[in-house]
Amino acid sequence: MAATISFTVGSPAGRRTVDVSYERTGSGEPLVLLHGIGHHRQAWDPVVRVLAAERDVIAVDLPGFGASPALPQGLRHDLRTMVPVLGSFIDALGVQRPHVAGNSLGGLLALELGREKLARSVTALSPAGFWTRSERRYAFGVLRAMRGAALSMPMPLIERLSQSSPGRAALTSTIYARPGRRSPGAVVAETVALREATAFRQTLEAGLTVAFTDDVPDIPVSIAWGDKDRLLLRRQGVRAKHVIPGARLVRLPDCGHVPMNDDPAAVARVILDTSRRRAGAASSQNA
């Protein structure tokens, strides 16, 4: 069931109240799920039920996306701010060092939480931050085009397109390898989430200076990449493996940038396998 929690961040002289919407289900060790830019927590719906059989699953709407309002004035939507905000969110829930899985922007945030010792394991699905300058320019151009299209289309057109497989492909094939599997309602909801994402511009601007260059030692890490990812190309996973040598690198066949919809079983398996591994137990799989 969806809920919203309020907590404060910042120094005593300048504290701000942050509201975050989330949904929590299941039992077991806690597992936090983080979505990508312009998306919402429902991106994880295809895998939540499987994960909840073993984990206390907390699917988050990042600030400025989904049902969560943007950060208060004075707080930037950058890594330096977002990682402490997520740490405070986890504390406010009474959770200690959860497992964390993230996709795209969420994958980058998950890795940063792991590097800051705020996560007990990390699964990053096509994480941002391992791009070259030209790859980043390409990805940001595609994201801006997607946002522009979502803003320009009237709702009746979005709803009409969602009713057919070709229409769903037109709306979502950039992020899904199998857009026809997405339900009409889900496609409409995520198109609306993209057009109403109040933190989209600020988050994209903050990403202009992002490059993940530090290891994430002492915890289990898996980096999984869809081999049909059209936004962040698969070769970026190889770079990620060089930066985080202890990580397990997993190829997701026939999956796009948001693989939870394309192959829910494979994604759930990677997340659960990572959360079961012991710290220091490094393994790898070729991309």
Question: Greater confidence, 243 or 286?
Answer: 243
Which pLDDT tens digit goes with each residue over 202-253?
A: 999 999 999 999 999 999 999 999 999 999 999 999 999 999 999 999 999 9
For 108-118, what is the mean pLDDT? 97
pLDDT band, very low/low/confident/very high, at 14 (cuts 50, 70, 90): confident
Check whether 287 has a pLDDT greater than 70: no
Task: Note the pLDDT of residue 220.
Answer: 97
Task: Note the pLDDT of residue 1.
Answer: 74
Which structure tokens are listed for 144? 């801006």
CA 23/CA 203 separation, integer angstroms: 23
* Cβ(274)–Cβ(123) below 8 Å: yes
- Domains of the chain are 2-131+210-276 (3.40.50.1820), 136-195 (no CATH)
Which pLDDT tens digit goes with each residue over 135-180?
A: 999 999 999 999 999 999 999 999 999 999 999 999 999 999 999 8
pTM listed for this prediction? 0.94
Q: What is the DSSP letter of 69?
A: P
Task: Note the pLDDT of residue 283.
Answer: 44
100 contact partners, CB below 8 Å, separation of at least 6: 31, 32, 33, 34, 110, 113, 114, 118, 119, 121, 122, 123
Which structure tokens are listed for 230? 């059209």
Tell me the CA end-to-end span of the chain in Å, nearest whole number.
Answer: 36
Which structure tokens are listed for 278? 């012991």
Identify the bridge partners of residue 211 per DSSP, sorted by sequence position: none
Give the percent of the chain with pLDDT over 70. Answer: 96
Task: Note the pLDDT of residue 10.
Answer: 78
Task: Note the pLDDT of residue 278.
Answer: 74
SS3 222: strand
Identify the bridge partners of residue 32 per DSSP, sorted by sequence position: 58, 100
For 177-206, what is the mean pLDDT? 96
pLDDT band, very low/low/confident/very high, at 12 (cuts 50, 70, 90): low
154 contact partners, CB below 8 Å, separation of at least 6: none
Check whether 286 has a pLDDT greater than 50: no
